[in-house]
Structure 1
Amino acid sequence: MSNQISFRILEDIARDLSSEMVCFPTFLDITFRVRTALKKPDLTIEQLGTLVSAEPLMSTKIIRLANSAAMNRSGRVIADLNRAIARVGMEAVRSVSFAVAMEQLLNSKKMAPFEALSRRLWEHSMHVAALSRVLARRLTKISPDEAMFAGLVHDIGVFYLLSRAANFPDLIADPAELHQLLVQWHADIGHALLAAMGLPEELLTVVQEHELEHVFDTVGTLAEVLFVANRLANVQHGWRDDAYSAPPDAAVVAQLFAADELEPLLAESADDVASLKAALGGQA
């Protein structure tokens, strides 16, 4: 099969994302509502709690996150939604809204043909988000919540492309072409989708360039945090199909961290990775 189907999908997406009235995918409705609320400078925890409480799955995940080892060092159990929002912070709610949106998409019937791929993708996103938060907290002055959100959305273009590809049986039947489409276009599509949602320019750039090679000596910027987290996650939790991709290259990470530096960092962050995955991923 030629790549005409891929071109049709890209043309449809380009029309949607360049129009004055962008029609957001259904699975992003929750994220868009939360993003809109967070743009209000006078938004209170109580107002955000009212919005969130309308989504039981989101409420559950926020409470779970507030009680995770990564967020709750004291071990004091929190059961109240508003207190949970106060504990994790308003920006972290944005990450939870995205996690809920992705879970709804993955559980939809339309994604059944891509079940194995989409599960690998979500597992990868969970690891990148958790590792981004840990790296930001341990090595930089960047907000850990900002880094976590960047990790969650860095491959949003793949999710979006898969949701559109589900409408093209010929592409479903050609995994090699689908894989090529995802690898080649997911970063640019992710940039365009997040831009249409009005997210900050720095985040757009970081998402668009997260697959590009970076040359740096220390981890200090959001782009560097995401790049390293993505490379680390790819070693054991990549989403690409081995039949169509070369093995992940961890050489850049090895150049940044000596073995005696990297191993303790990963060991120290293991609990955070596990607790964030448990809080954001899986069923409530």
Structure 2
Amino acid sequence: MDRVDALKRIAAQAERGELIFPTNIDAALKIQQAFGDSDTHIEKIARLIQAEPLLAARIVAIANSVAYNRSGREIADVRSAVGRLGFRTLHALATAVVTRQFASMIADPQLQAKASQLWEHTAHVASLAHLIAQRITLVDAETAMFAAIVHEVGGFYLISQAPSHPGLLDGDLAGWVEQGERIIGRAVLKRLAVPEQVMEAVEDCWNGFLTLPPVTLGDTLLLANQLAPVVSPLNQQRTDDEGREEALEGPSLIDHVVGDETLAGILEKSAEEIHSLMMALRF
């Protein structure tokens, strides 16, 4: 079976709801689903998180990042972190763990490298989307970060299936969006019970039409995606040898005027906040 046939087969299975999740994802899924229950109490959430060391560590790190720790008072326990972040942010982080764990059991070093680059890209997009929502588009920042965390979930699923389909991710992957990202992505997003507005924003990102000035959740996600210094390994256009996006020629997005500032100026002033959040998301 060649790569195109394998991709079509995986897409067809996903469209039928026949998703194959790694067994180690179950615990993270239970936590993620708990946030969708309005009767879940903060103490139960804290206990669930404490049982997952990876998630617990990330939540404390996010709570201490510049984006969420305006007072400068560092905390060191999950219960305090839960109180500082709130359920919506915690839901996004639990979903991040689910997304990242799709490829956590892969042994092949080349596939691991692709998964690591994809998460690096995701972390950059999430931190940028959070800032862009706050400073430029004025949409809800937590929803923007959540949308960014899940916008490449179809790619993570594809990487998780690659060991069963030798050669699936070899060579030029420019046709990935047209051949399967939408089908596979929609199926996984549906399984994760992603809200409709987030689904629509991810669809906007797939379509790639950025409105200027950016105003919607989709614009927020697409702008963050275009500004991310690390691109998806499934979309390797204009990248250098280390996976960083090369500078755009001609008029650049960062020269776009937002109020009395340029986008470049906003990004420069908020560099510490972006970096702090991005580093906390890298796991």
Shorter-normalised TM-score: what interval? Answer: 0.7 to 0.9
Relative to its length, the structure with more helix (as a share) is 1
Q: 1:175 aligns with which of 154, 159, 171?
A: 171
The answer to whether the 8 Å contact 1:129/1:149 transfers is yes
Deviation at 1:257, TM superposition (A): 3.5
Inter-partner Cα distance in structure 2 for 1:10 and 1:92: 35
Q: How far apart, in 1, do the equivalents of 2:261 and 2:127 lie? A: 21
Tell me the TM-score normalised to structure 1 length.
Answer: 0.84
Deviation at 1:73, TM superposition (A): 0.8
The match for 1:10 is 8
Tell me, yes or no, if the aligned pair for 2:96 and 2:150 is still in contact at 8 Å: no
CA distance in 2, matches of 1:32, 1:203: 18
Counterpart of 1:264? 265
Q: Which runs of 5+ in 1 are unaligned?
A: none
State the number of aligned residues: 273
- Residue 219 of structure 1 corresponds to 214
Which amino acid in 2 is paired with 1:231? Q
Which sits farther off after the overlay, 3-12 or 217-226? Answer: 3-12
Q: Residue 50 of structure 2 aligns with which residue? A: 53
Superposed, 1:11-26 pairs within 5 Å as: 11-19=9-17, 23-26=20-23
Deviation at 1:55, TM superposition (A): 0.3
Q: 1:85 maps to which residue?
A: 82
- Match status 1:108 vs 2:105: yes
Q: After alignment, is 35-44 or 96-105 more displaced?
A: 96-105
1:6 and 1:119 mapped to 2: Cα distance? 24
- The answer for the alignment partner of 1:231 in structure 2 is 226
> Shift of the alpha carbon at 1:245?
3.4
Query: Residue 73 of structure 2: which of 70, 76, 81 is its match?
Result: 76
Q: Which amino acid aligns with 2:276?
A: S
Among candidates 205, 214, 224, match of residue 210 of structure 1: 205
CA distance in 2, matches of 1:263, 1:281: 24
**What amino acid is aligned across from residue 64 of structure 2 in structure 1?**
N
AA in 1 matched with 2:9: E
> Which of 40, 44, 52 matches 2:41?
44
RMSD across aligned C-alpha pairs, in angstroms?
A: 2.8
> Quick one: distance in 1 between partners of 2:255 and 2:189?
32
In the alignment, structure 1 residue 245 sits paired with structure 2 residue 245: no
Separation in 2 of the partners of 1:93 and 1:241? 28
- Please give the alpha-carbon distance, in whole angstroms, between the structure 1 residues aligned to 2:108 and 2:116: 10
- Of 111-120 and 272-281, more deviation after overlay is shown by 111-120
- Give the drift of 1:150: 0.8
Partner of 1:123: 120
Deviation at 1:232, TM superposition (A): 0.8
Q: Give the drift of 1:124.
A: 0.9
Q: Share of identical aligned residues, percent?
A: 30
> Paired residue for 1:145, among 132, 138, 142?
142
Note closer, same or farther for the CA distance 1:268–1:92 as it changes in structure 2 (3 Å cut). Answer: same
Instruction: Provide the secondary structure at the position in 2 that maps to 1:202.
Output: helix
1:126-167 deviation digits (Å, cap 9, x = unpaired): 110000000111123422111111111111111111111221
* Matching residue's letter, 2:218: A
Go from structure 1 to structure 2 and tell me whether the alpha carbon gap of 1:222 and 1:252 turns closer, same or farther (over 3 Å shift): farther
CA distance in structure 2 between the partners assigned to 1:127 and 1:105 by the alignment: 19
Moved more, 140-149 or 99-108: 99-108
Amino acid in the other structure paired with 2:78: L
* TM-superposed deviation, 1:96: 1.9
Comparing 49-58 with 191-200, greater Cα deviation is found at: 191-200
Q: What is the CA-CA distance between 1:51 and the residue it aligns to?
A: 1.2
